[in-house]
Amino acid sequence: MPELPEAEIVRAGLERFARGRRIEHIDVLRPQTLRRQGGGAAELSGLSVGRTIEAVVRRGKFIWWELSDGVGLGIHLGMSGQFRVLTDPTHDEVLVASAEPASAPRWRQHVRARIRLDDGTTLAFVDQRMFGYLLAVDMEPTVDGHPGGYGTTSALLPPHVAHISRDLLDPHLDLAAVLARLARTRSPIKAALLNQEIVSGLGNIYVDEALWRSRVRYTTPSDELAQPVLETILSHATDVLRESLAQGGTSFDALYVNVNGESGYFSRSLAVYGRADEPCLRCGALLIRERFANRSSFLCPVCQARPGGAG
DNA sequence: CCATAATCCTGTACGC
DNA sequence: TGCGTACAGGATTATG
Distance A137 CA to C10 C1' (A): 21
State the greatest distance between any 2 C-alpha atoms of chain A, in Å, as a whole number. Answer: 64
Containing A193, the helix (H) or strand (E) segment is helix A189-194
| A186 Cβ contacts chain C strand, under 7 Å | no
Active-site residues of A: which are they? 2-3, 61, 295
Strand C: which of residues 3-22 in chain A lie with Cβ below 7 A?
3
What's the predicted TM-score (pTM) here?
0.95
Nucleotides of C under 7 A from a protein CB: 7-13
Give the integer Cα–Cα distance in Å for A253 and A257: 9
Inter-CA distances, A91 with A86, A119, A230, A263, Å: 7, 15, 50, 23
Residue A254: per-residue pLDDT: 62
Give the integer Cα–Cα distance in Å for A112 and A123: 11
Give the integer Cα–Cα distance in Å for A116 and A21: 10
Strand C: which of residues 85-144 in chain A lie with Cβ below 7 A?
129, 131
Residue A252: per-residue pLDDT: 65
Tens-digit pLDDT profile for chain A (311 aa)?
Answer: 799 999 999 999 999 999 999 999 999 999 999 999 999 999 999 999 999 999 999 999 999 999 999 999 999 999 999 999 987 755 555 455 556 776 778 888 999 999 999 999 999 999 999 999 999 999 999 999 999 999 999 999 999 999 999 999 999 999 999 999 999 999 999 999 999 999 999 999 999 999 999 999 999 999 999 999 999 999 999 999 999 998 887 766 666 667 766 667 677 789 999 999 999 999 999 999 999 988 999 999 999 988 766 44
Distance A100 CA to B16 C1' (A): 34
CA neighbor of A77 nearest in space, from A141, A3, A12: A3
Give the integer Cα–Cα distance in Å for A7 and A234: 19
Nucleotides of B under 7 A from a protein CB: 2-12
